[in-house]
Structure 1
Amino acid sequence: MEQDMVERKKGEIREGDQEKWVYDSSVDHKGSVPLRASTGVWKAALFIITIEFSERLSFFGLSSNLITYLTKVIQQDLKTAAKNVNYWSGVTTMLPLIGGFLADSYTGRFSMILISSVIYLMGLGLLVMSRFIPSLKPCKTDECSHPSRVHEVIFFLAMYFISVATGGYKPCLESFGADQFDDDHPEERKNKMSYFNWWNFALCCGLVLGVTFIVYVQDYVSWGVADLILAIAMTITIIIFYFGKSFYRYRMPQGSPLTPMLQVVVAAIKKRHLPYPSSPALLYEVPKSQNSRGRLINHTNNLRFLDKAAIIEGNEQLSPDKQPNPWRLTTVTRIEELKLILNMIPIWLTSLTFGTCVAQTATFFIKQSSTMNRKISHHFEIPPATIYTLTAVGMIIAVTVYDKILVPILRRATGNERGISILQRIGSGMIFSVLSMAVAALVERKRLSIAHEEIIQGGKTGPVSMSVFWLAPQFMLLGVGDAFTLVGLQEYFYDQVPDSMRSLGIAFYLSVMGVGNFLSSFLITLVNHITEKAGGKSWFGKDLNTSRIDNFYWLLSAMNGLNICVFVLLARRYSYKNVQRSHVEVADSRVGDGLEMESMA
């Protein structure tokens, strides 16, 4: 009877304590343990999603029309302009690795976002000044053959300010938003799964407005007015983000996350001759009450060589007052964190072919649209880049259907709280990339036949009569693939990295897209060399009408199909992060000790 009363009181206090406070190593804006009712979850995440919408509006509004600005306003030749766009895109893609590392190690995510906000506003401010201050304008008159050198310098300085700011924004905004949900709380954990879906919904809304409304203002009203709109929108959302600071849950930086991993390798090498212990329970781990670096991770049997770093030798005296030399003895959690990173490498590598497919949307897909009939009516013709919105539309529809319809059904069918596992979601999206490339090949083949009839044989100039909306299926299919694979990759790289590396985890996801772009360029160069040497005619001619881009699409489709087979094998053997739930057990210990003292009294 007494034992039942003890267990009942334990459960009541455990449940009440868990509902009142958040025990996930986060703090509130005062540095205290956060109250669950007044911090985090959607009331905090919405502030962060708002600034992401504004950032994507600015980024896509500027990047999608950047080559147009360089060729029409600064009057660079196409080759130079394309090279400058590639340089800027490459820098923008790789800087998040630095921004994520600095945020995790030293500044924290909130501070990095504020620093990036200031730099972003400086960039947008310089763009506005370069269009409205007479001495900084490209030309003193409406038309000139040699734009001002000062304007060119200010313009590139502004764009690289934005690039640096994006390097801080991208790894921190999304991970900071996900930090607002407690993994150890069942309801908040489910909300976090939905968070990644709605994050991308906001991202797509910013993308759609950027490549439609902002591009329209740039082309038909004024570049300066468009820059001013972006600067005002960014200022408003930064203010909104800052005023949400009392609602946020913060993760404190804990120094470089790379040092503990190097310590594991060094310790394992030093103890390489020691035999494995008879049980993993004999490996060194700090008690939960002494752990200050976040959650503990359970031992796994893969990469067993690293386990030797946690073998306790006879001459290593352990006590609560004296910590062991981490270069000689490390904890199981530190070892498992390194295993997590090493296990990610094959998943990262097999995601690159999907990134290569995504790269086609901003290059060959857009180039196809520029050669097709884009008229909606006799008086209105959509810009070539605007067709890119179909990818965002496909993603928005797929994310909504997945989150609101498929996930509840899959949860009941599989018993998995996610519906399907993260890697199953990623693999499902890869199937859509195969279909998208196959459809793109068929559509391009039809476009080539019409171009041959109308232009090469008929002598017609300008676009072919084929409607640009023939491209809709390939854009939409890739958008659906993005909803599964890109969102899944975001969740995977946030969830499966060590808790101290989550900004860097999002940067790893972004690097998939960046390396995918570089891989696409390398593949084009390689295919161009092989086809030119083998058949005397390259697949990539002077223009699309003399090229065989359809064959290139078939190649990408086949590569992705083979890649899926490898990915499935890796996914079936993958071991997910297995975290110990510590706060409940701490509550149990506290309750048990209190009841024991009452009984003794």
Structure 2
Amino acid sequence: MPKGVWFGHSEDERTKRSYTLIVSYSAPDGLPMAIATPSISDAEAPLLDQIVEGSVDFKGRPVSRSKSGGWRSAVFIIGVEVAERFSYYGISSNLINYLTGPLGQSTAKAAENVNVWSGTASLLPLLGGFLADSFVGRYRMIVVASFLYMLGLGLLSLSAVMYSPDCQTGSGTSCSPPSAQVILFFFSLYLVALAQGGHKPCVQAFGADQFDEQDPKECKAKSSFFNWWYFSFTGGVLVALLVLSYIQDNLSWGLGFGIPCIVMCLALILFLLGSFTYRFRLPTGEKSPFVRIGLVFVRAAGNWQADTFAASSEAEAQGMITSKSFEQYKFLNKALLAPPNGSKQESSQVCSSISDVEEAKAVLRLVPIWTTCLVYAIVFAQASTFFNKQSVTMDRRITPNFQVPAAALQTIISISIIIFVPIYDRVIIPIARSLTGTSSGISMLQRIGAGMFLSMISMVIAAIVEMKRLAIAAEYGLVDKPNETVPMSMWWILPSYVLFGVSDSLTMVGLQEFFYDQVPTELRSVGLALYLSIFGIGSFLSSALIAVIESATRGHSWFDNNLNRAHLDYFYWLLAGMSAVALAAYLYFAGTYIYKKKVSV
């Protein structure tokens, strides 16, 4: 990955013409390359606008705006994301049915395993983002993660075809696969999680890097990029749910896991084909952003006895006008001061700059937003677990000879997203812009809050539908017949899935843009990893919540293997109440949030 660019100035004594010396550090070998270019006259000034400052190409050279980045590069990267999401959801969407089927696990145990795996997969991007932003670079991390993906998916497919015919047909009364096969399965599954941890935060950050924030047109395009990014990868999810769930349920689990492996091979080839169109962002500081921000907290703690007035005086001495941002989290302003017993020479090296303090505050401001979104993540986890198991008991026939796979009902979420995103981007946002007079129309935090509200409503509807399903099961004497289909159409669950899709379009995309935009520029992979970690922690919390409820309701479990005796409706009501509390807290913190200032180049 390109490491830096140095600009110098010289003059040719023979021609008396000025030259600018650009020394860049290329990704392939890390060696500096010197490029001498004539200083630009007024007549040539328009050409300067074609150079994207702060970015270089694959070989470490300055990039032209007209020949790199933008949608030209984003198309390759979005294509890779579509393939990756197809592969990931091809595994995750039907995982609970695989665990309760061929692996013979109970419903509660399978849901717990799905949540733990999903949580791990969503937390590992923190590691991947850190390595990418600090050492490896986003481009290289995507390539490495793609190879890990292919390995994990290949081994997963191998583990699935190793089961005996009796296990796959379910003819045995008690089928327990050999431990070696189970170990291989879970090893492969967590290898996929590791690959996702490197792939997910870097691909989206690298895609957004293709748009120059300092150019008005590209800045506007970047806002749309997040919408169309989610729209496109939802298409990949939709195909996975429709095609792979059918193959897995009706043909072969091995084939259903093997197809994603082939798709990831094609995705890597596509990504590499776009290499010479990509823009690579250059680091903006000598120190690692982690070091700079960490030192702010350390120095502020070291000066804990100092007066905040002294920090304000120091800021004014550096020419800063006191602002709302400066007044928030005042204790961090103490990092501007020298240690009590330090000499002047030492003080110049141990005081943080105002920009470093503002970066630290920007990170700290994310914590309340991150925390209050955790309940949304718990709700989000239900679509691929209990919603799926609930659908299995319902009448899913479209024709007398065709029954929709339960996992395929999740396509309703994807279809809702595919329909809503263009409406949001092309209709709602232009109207909001005309009403508010702002370029965004609807702020990122407003968008997130609207989605959280809809997710709460989806839980209320899910609880009502489950109460209806249990009443019908009792009416038809099916309480003790868990394998019988409850005469209740699958379309009853449609509203919850639709609201899930619309809320995802609002909250998920809003969180992606928010955590990319509000972190320091050099930490954008980590920023997107923080967004993903919401759903990782949410999955773990969902798993813990299920375990606590399972223990507390033993004997009359809310998650009984016989769903006709279970009480998922109670669980959905609990989640609706938790969502209401979390939304109230979110609205408070969102109302006091101070957005990061845009700095012009």
Structure-2 residue corresponding to 1:235:
265
Q: In 2, Cα distance between the equivalents of 1:425 and 1:264?
A: 32
Cα separation, 2, equivalents of 1:492 and 1:154: 38
Distance 1:103 1:541 in 2: 44
In the other structure, the counterpart of 1:5 is none
Matches within 5 A, 1:3-402: 16=46, 19-23=49-53, 25-74=54-103, 81-82=110-111, 84-129=113-158, 137-139=162-164, 147=177, 150-252=180-282, 256-272=288-304, 273=306, 275-278=310-313, 280-283=315-318, 300-311=326-337, 324-325=348-349, 328-402=350-424
State the alpha-carbon separation in 2 of the partners of residues 360 and 558 from structure 1: 15
- Displacement of 1:460 after TM fit? 9.3
Shift of 1:149: 5.2
Displacement of 1:456: 4.7
CA–CA distance in structure 2, aligned partners of residues 215 and 174 of structure 1: 26
Query: Structure 1 pair 13/104, CA: closer, same or farther in 2 (3 Å)?
Result: farther
* TM-superposition CA deviations, 1:127-169 (whole Å, max 9, x none): 455567xxxx334898796655554444333322212111101
Q: Contact (CA 8 Å) 2:112, 2:543: kept in 1 or not?
A: no
- Check the 8 A contact 1:284/1:311 in 2, yes or no: no
Deviation at 1:269, TM superposition (A): 3.2
Distance in 1 between residues matched to 2:397 and 2:147, nearest whole Å: 41
Equivalent in the alignment of 1:565: 584
Gaps in structure 2 of 5+ consecutive residues: 1-39
Q: Give matches, 1:420-431, under 5 Å.
A: 420-431=442-453
After superposition, the Cα gap between the structure-2 partners of 1:12 and 1:402, relative to the gap in structure 1 and judged at 3 Å, is farther
Q: Distance in 1 between matches of 2:483 and 2:367?
A: 49
- Matching residue's letter, 1:473: P
In 2: Cα distance, 1:179 partner to 1:11 partner = 30
SS in 1 for 2:63: coil
Q: Is the 8 A contact 1:119 1:161 kept in 2?
A: yes
| AA in 1 matched with 2:56 | V
Q: In the alignment, residue 581 of structure 2 is paired with which amino acid?
A: L
Distance 1:178 1:11, change over 3 A: farther
| CA distances 1:408-436 after superposition (whole Å, capped 9, x unpaired) | 11111111111111101111111111211
* Matched position secondary structure for 1:181: coil
1:298 deviates by 11
* Structure 1 residues 174 and 378: CA distance shift in structure 2, 3 A: same
**Alignment partner of 1:547 is 2:566:** yes
> 8 Å contact 2:160–2:185 — kept in the other structure?
no
Bigger shift: residues 13-22 or 383-392 = 13-22
Q: Which has the higher helix share?
A: 1
Once the two structures are superposed, residues 85-143 of structure 1 have per-residue CA deviations (whole angstroms, 9 ceiling, x without a partner) of: 444333222211111111111101101001101111122333455567xxxx3348987
Q: Hey, what's the Cα distance between the residues in 2 that align with 1:461 and 1:266?
A: 60
Tell me which protein shows more strand as a share of its residues. Answer: 2
- Cα distance in 1 for partners of 2:319, 2:294 equals 17
Q: What SS does the corresponding residue of 1:37 show, helix, strand or coil? A: coil
Could you say what secondary structure the match of 1:22 adopts?
Answer: strand
Is the contact between residue 131 and residue 223 of structure 1 (CA under 8 Å) also seen in structure 2? yes
CA separation of 1:436/1:140 partners in 2, compared to 1, >3 Å: closer, same or farther?
Answer: closer
**One-letter code aligned to 2:595:** Y
Aligned positions of 1:529-548 closer than 5 A: 537=556, 539-548=558-567
Structure 1 position 514, deviation (Å): 1.5
C-alpha distance in structure 2 between counterparts of 1:83 and 1:523, whole Å: 10
* SS of residue in 1 equivalent to 2:485: coil
CA–CA separation in structure 1 for the residues paired with 2:207 and 2:92 = 25
Residue pair 1:218, 1:226 contacting (<8 A) in 2 also: yes
Deviation, 1:469, is 1.2
Write the letter of the residue equivalent to 1:91.
T
CA distance in 2, matches of 1:31, 1:224: 43
Structure 1 counterpart of 2:232, which letter? A
Query: Which residue of 430, 454, 458 corresponds with 1:436?
Result: 458
1:517 alignment partner in structure 2: 539
Are 2:532 and 1:498 aligned? no
Q: For residues 25-48 of structure 1, what are the alpha-carbon distances to aligned partners after superposition, in whole Å with 9 as ceiling and x for unaligned?
A: 332212233211111111111111
The TM-score with structure 1 as length reference comes to 0.84
Residue ranges of structure 1 left out of the alignment (5+ in a row): 1-9, 286-296, 583-601
Instruction: Summarize the Cα distance change of 1:13–1:196 in structure 2 as closer, same or farther, 3 Å threshold.
Output: farther
Out of 218-227 and 68-77, give the one that drifted further: 68-77
Residue in structure 1 matching 2:426, options 404, 408, 428: 404
